[in-house]
Amino acid sequence: MKIKAKMKKDMAVIKVLAKHPMETGLRKDKKTDKVIPAKFIKELVCKHGDKEVFHADFGRSVSKDPYLSFSFAGAKKGDTVSMTWIDNTDETLTVEAPIK
Q: What would the pLDDT profile of 77-91 be if each residue is shown by its tens digit? A: 999 999 999 999 999
pLDDT tens string 23-45: 999 999 999 999 999 999 999 99
Is 63 contained in some domain?
Answer: yes
Is 34 contained in some domain?
Answer: no
Is 78 contained in some domain?
Answer: yes
Q: How confident is the model at residue 1 (pLDDT cuts 50, 70, 90)?
A: very high
Per the rule left: phi > 0, alpha: psi between -120 and 50, beta: everything else, 49 is: left
Amino acid 83: pLDDT = 97
Provide the residue range defining the domain that includes 14. Answer: 2-24+39-98
Strand 2-8 to strand 51-57: parallel, antiparallel, or no bridges (unpaired)?
unpaired
Query: Residue range 10-18: average pLDDT?
Result: 97
Is 29 contained in some domain?
Answer: no
In CATH, what number is assigned to the domain containing residue 74? 2.60.40.10
Amino acid 25: pLDDT = 94
Cα separation of 97 and 100, whole Å? 9
pTM of the model: 0.89
Q: How confident is the model at residue 15 (pLDDT cuts 50, 70, 90)?
A: very high
Q: How many helices (H) and strands (E) does the chain have?
A: 0, 7
Amino acid 12: pLDDT = 98
Q: How many domains does the structure of the chain reveal?
A: 1
